Structure 1
C-alpha cells in the first residue's frame, strides 16, 4: 500500500511539473505573438505617419504652385493671342512678354516638379523661336496662326504636366500595405 501513496505523490509532482511547463510554453508563445503584433503595429504606424507627412507637404505646396502655374499659363496665352493678332508693335510687345515669361519660368522651375519645369522651358523656347520669325518675316494671318500653334503645343503639354502635379496627393503606394511588409 505504501507504493500506491508514493506513486500518487510522484504522479502529482510530475503532473504539476508538466502543467507548469505547458503553462510556461503557453506564456512564451503568447509573449512572442504579442511582440510580433506590436512590431507590426509600429511598422504600420510609421508607414502611416510617413504618408501623412508626405501628403501634408504636397498640400502645402499645392496653392503656391497653382498660382505660379496659372501666371505662367496666362502669360503664355497672352503671347499666343499677340502672335495671332499680328500688329506692327507685336515684336516689341512679344519681347516684353518673353522677358516676363522667362521670369515666370524661373518660378515654375523653383516650385517644380521637373516635368512641369521642362514643359515650361519648351514653351519659352517655342516663344523665342516664334518671336525671332516674326521679327524677320512679315507673315500672313494663316502663317501667324501656324506660328501660334508652335507655342500652343508645348503649352498644352505644360497644362497637362501642371494638372498632374497639382493632382498628385503624394502617395505612390496603395492605401493598405500588402501582407509581409
Structure 2
C-alpha cells in the first residue's frame, strides 16, 4: 500500500471516528440538557406549590384564630353563666350574637380550607347551635362537652393544616 493512500485512509478513519465521537458527545449533552430541563421544571413546580402554601398560611391562620377565639368566648360565657346569676335570656342573646360571629368565621374558614378544617369548623358551629337549643328548650345548660370536643377537633385540624409543608403531594 502506498503511503499516500495509507495517509488518506488514516485521515478518513480518524475523521470518521472524530465525527462519531462528536455525535455521541452531542447526544449525551442533549440527554443531559433534557434531564436538567425536567429537573428545573419539577423544582419550579415545587417552588410554586410552596409559595402558594406560604401565601395561604397567613389568611388561614387569621381565619382559624378568629373562629377559635369566638368558640372560646362561647365556652367562657357558658362557664360564667354556670357560676353567676346571669339570666337564661341574657345568656341566649349573647350566645346568639356569638353564633352569628361564629358562622361568619366558619365561612372564612370554609374558603381558606382545607376540607378537613372546614368540616371541623362546621361541626363546631353545629355544636354551638345545639347549645342555644338546649338553653331555650331545657332552660339550662346541661352539657358543654360537645362544644369543647368540637373546639378541640377544630384546633387539631387547624394545627395540622398550618404545619403541612406540602411535601406529601
Displaced runs of 4+ in structure 1, greater than 4 A?
none
Match of 1:49 among 27, 44, 51: 44
Question: Counterpart of 1:148?
Answer: 144
Whether contact under 8 Å (1:59, 1:169) holds in the other structure is no
The alpha carbon displacement at 1:100 in A equals 1.0
In the TM superposition, what are the counterparts of 1:70-149 in structure 2 within 5 Å? 70-86=65-81, 87-88=86-87, 89-139=90-140, 143=142, 147-149=143-145
TM-score under structure 2 normalisation? 0.88
Q: TM-score, normalised by structure 1?
A: 0.83
2:135 aligned with 1:172, yes or no? no
- CA radius of gyration, larger in: 1
- For residue 165 of structure 2, give the secondary structure of its aligned residue in structure 1: coil
Structure 1 residues not aligned, in runs of 5+: 174-181
| Matched pairs, number | 163
Q: Distance in 2 between matches of 1:81 and 1:109?
A: 25
Secondary structure of 1:169's counterpart equals coil
CA distance in 2, matches of 1:56, 1:63: 12
Note the alpha carbon deviations across 1:49-98, whole angstroms, 9 max, x for none.
11111211211221121111111000001111222333322112111111
- Root-mean-square deviation (CA, aligned residues, Å) is 1.6
By how many angstroms is 1:13 displaced? 2.0
Alpha-carbon separation, structure 1, partners of 2:53 and 2:166: 6
Give the corresponding residue for 2:28: 33
> CA offset at residue 22 of structure 1?
1.1
